[in-house]
Structure 1
């Protein structure tokens, strides 16, 4: 049975520092038995980043009608009328991205972004700056919480989660200068301040396969392909937390690598203004004071 003390020590040894901005992807099953379960794991993570640090997760939504409305598919009228509207304050999280995100969303002071399918949740001084705004059509690319997370110098923690869970690489897909990116449309039910639900249609990049070659059944997508290539370089930190093999990645570095990888293998000429080095320079901006499908 792993304890709060041992997990906290493991996180420090892995390289998480007080004041860090960390996006966590967790497999509680991989961690093994923990005294106090998910609540203990969350407490250890918040203790590791400290009161000056911020913890972020990919919450999504357990009732997201993404698949049901994808590329023109339409729910019948009875289903549309009865489908709940998304509310960041009360809607559940998608369990496929880990149970820990629900605990994070329910933590006092947690902030959750307004995009139903790609909603992010954060706790800490940067929570509001990370999660607002989050418009439909900006799920994981420019204008999204992921972009702000990367530019604020965040770290990605794979807490027993596999390499296909590096959600920040969807941001690399969105900004990479490559032709023939796949796009999708879908609809989301949004609950307004008056309590009424309105269905809104949006268009975005296809996070399930940015190019045809990454959307083939049984083959790794771009996120997993890039993440595998990145960890082979050894630029990340690695170790065990509880019973899980874990990795800590620098978000700016892995995203810059991802952009370069996609443009080298699939892209046209890269304009000077969009080279990965520019991403690194932009990421050095100071953080403000105070407060999707992997």
Structure 2
């Protein structure tokens, strides 16, 4: 059975080092049976980065009304009235981004960012710097935890997670100088100063398809397309962590690659690309 010690060894062999800032995307099923379960996986990750490292995950929120309010969609009045406000201290994570994030959020000392739908959880030396501020309208682009993570020289770790999970590439979408980027509007229930619900409207880039050609049902989106192209060039580290086929990507490098990929193929035809 895999345990905390062997996972730490696997992570170091993959390229995780003491002091690293790591954004993890994980499939507990792919990692396999681990002595101590998900808590041991979190502990092994923290062991691998050491006391000076930082661990971050994309938590989101299991009650995010993103789809229910997207682009003017209306909720039933009673449903809207009874929808809970987002409270970073108690909100559960979105299961679709992996169960490990809930264990990370429950770890003593973990901090949660204030954007309900794009909420990040972080623990370690840079945790506070990474997650604050995180305002509506700045989900994964400029001014977001992802931008600060990239600028801090972070590493993206896929533990059995698919290539469409490379969240930092949404930052590449946001900063790439290409025309026709899709935008969306939605509403989020925020916690007011007296515990009341305050619905706030946000506008941001469409993470389900930054361009029309990446928003076709059943076809790869921009993140998966770019990540696949990046890995094909061998600019990453690859290996086994537990039973999981895993990837380690340099955040700055994959974002730079992503921006270039988008601007080269979809940029302005008058030479105004960066």
Give me the TM-score of the superposition, normalised by structure 1.
0.91
RMSD of equivalent CA atoms = 0.9
Note the alpha carbon deviations across 1:32-64, whole angstroms, 9 max, x for none.
111111000000000111110000000000000
Indicate whether 1:144 and 2:135 are aligned.
no
Aligned partners of 1:61 and 1:93 also within 8 Å: yes
Task: Give the whole-Å Cα distance in 2 for the aligned partners of 1:270 and 1:257.
Answer: 19
Aligned partners of 1:177 and 1:270 also within 8 Å: no
Aligned partners of 1:68 and 1:74 also within 8 Å: yes
Task: Give the whole-Å Cα distance in 2 for the aligned partners of 1:198 and 1:79.
Answer: 15
Secondary structure of 2:117's counterpart equals coil
Match of 1:213 in 2: 213
Aligned 1:4-153 pairs, distance under 5 A: 4-153=4-153
Task: Give the whole-Å Cα distance in 1 for the aligned partners of 2:192 and 2:49.
Answer: 34
Task: Give the whole-Å Cα distance in 2 for the aligned partners of 1:101 and 1:254.
Answer: 23
Task: Give the whole-Å Cα distance in 2 for the aligned partners of 1:196 and 1:231.
Answer: 47
Note the alpha carbon deviations across 1:200-232, whole angstroms, 9 max, x for none.
111000000000000001100000000000001
Task: Give the whole-Å Cα distance in 1 for the aligned partners of 2:271 and 2:69.
Answer: 34
Give structure 1 stretches of 5+ with no counterpart: 276-294
Indicate whether 1:177 and 2:177 are aligned.
yes
Q: CA deviation at 1:76?
A: 1.4
Secondary structure of 1:41's counterpart equals helix
Secondary structure of 1:129's counterpart equals helix
Task: Give the whole-Å Cα distance in 2 for the aligned partners of 1:10 and 1:58.
Answer: 22
Q: CA deviation at 1:193?
A: 2.8
Task: Give the whole-Å Cα distance in 2 for the aligned partners of 1:179 and 1:58.
Answer: 28
Task: Give the whole-Å Cα distance in 1 for the aligned partners of 2:70 and 2:3.
Answer: 43
Note the alpha carbon deviations across 1:112-156, whole angstroms, 9 max, x for none.
110000000100010000000000000000000000000000000
Match of 1:284 in 2: none
Poorly superposed stretches of 4+, deviation over 4 Å: 269-272
Match of 2:249 in 1: 249
Give me the TM-score of the superposition, normalised by structure 2.
0.98
Aligned partners of 1:188 and 1:199 also within 8 Å: yes
Note the alpha carbon deviations across 1:79-135, whole angstroms, 9 max, x for none.
111001000000000010011101111111111110000000100010000000000
Aligned partners of 1:263 and 1:270 also within 8 Å: no
Secondary structure of 1:23's counterpart equals strand
Task: Give the whole-Å Cα distance in 2 for the aligned partners of 1:112 and 1:137.
Answer: 17
Q: CA deviation at 1:270?
A: 6.3
Match of 2:160 in 1: 160
Match of 1:231 in 2: 231
